[in-house]
Each structure stands twice: as C-alpha cells, then as structure tokens.
Amino acid sequence: MLDPLPDASPAARVAQDDACILLADDSPVARRFAAKLLRARGYRVEVARDGFDALGMVFAVNPDLLLLDSGMPRLDGFQVCALVKRAPGFAALPVVILSDCGGLYARVRARLAGSRSCLAKPFTADELLNTVAGALHDG
C-alpha cells in the first residue's frame, strides 16, 4: 500500500495531528517558552535563532506554519515572510508575526508581507495556542 502522507497537502497533515511549526525568535527565553508550550500540545517544532536561519530552514523543514519574531537580526520576521511567500510552493503557507509593538503599524506591515496575523508580545500561553490553532485551521 502506498503511503499518501508525502503527497498530502499541509491541511491534510494538520488534520492528522502532525503539524510542524517553524519558530524563529532571537530571544532564547521566548524560543524556549513557545517551543515548550507547542510541543506539550503535540506540535512538532523546529527552532531558528534568527530570520536568516529560518529562511534556510523553511525549504528543508517544509513547515505547516511559520511563527516569526518581527525584530530579529539579519532578516526580521516581515522580511522572511515576504521572501517565503514569493517562493514557489509557499504562497499559501500560513505565517504569524510575533511583534513587540503590537500596534496598527505592525499589523499592517505583517499583512503587507503576507502574514495571516500578528500576535503582540508579550503574549499568554492561551493567546499563542489559539493563534496557532486558528492559523493552522484557516490554512
């Protein structure tokens, strides 16, 4: 019998509780908090230390969701989002920007880059989990 998983769409993989999240944040504390929380909920989490590392990992990991800090060195989350969205096969990949500013400017900039939503930092565990679930469900 052939395994349908390699050809399954991201939405199909998510429905099988096999969602992979690529998390990029330059803060070790934020990375540990978010990764631990998401892994405890059964998500597979890959971690990048900054936007440049995340951009390189996207193609190797092929995640179901990107969580990108807005203020990373080398490439910020907005830049990574815009670059990934232009890559063949990644236009529909859901992206959530994690922003320190959380205001209208950050939300507009996130949308212009191609992000589904912008989550203001600091966020609670429930806010992160609800945002991730919504982004994966809508994807």
- pLDDT band for 100, please (50, 70, 90 cuts): confident
Order of strands, sheet of 65-69, starting from the edge strand that comes earlier in the sequence: 44-48, 20-24, 65-69, 95-99, 117-120
Q: Is the pLDDT of residue 14 over 60?
A: no
Q: Is the pLDDT of residue 10 over 60?
A: no
Q: What is the pLDDT of residues 44-86, one digit of tens each?
A: 999 999 999 999 999 999 999 999 999 998 899 999 999 999 9
Q: What is the pLDDT of residues 31-44, one digit of tens each?
A: 999 999 999 999 99
Q: What's the CA gap between 26 and 44, in Å, rounded?
A: 19
Q: Check: pTM over 0.75? Answer yes or no.
A: yes
How much is the average pLDDT of 96-125?
87
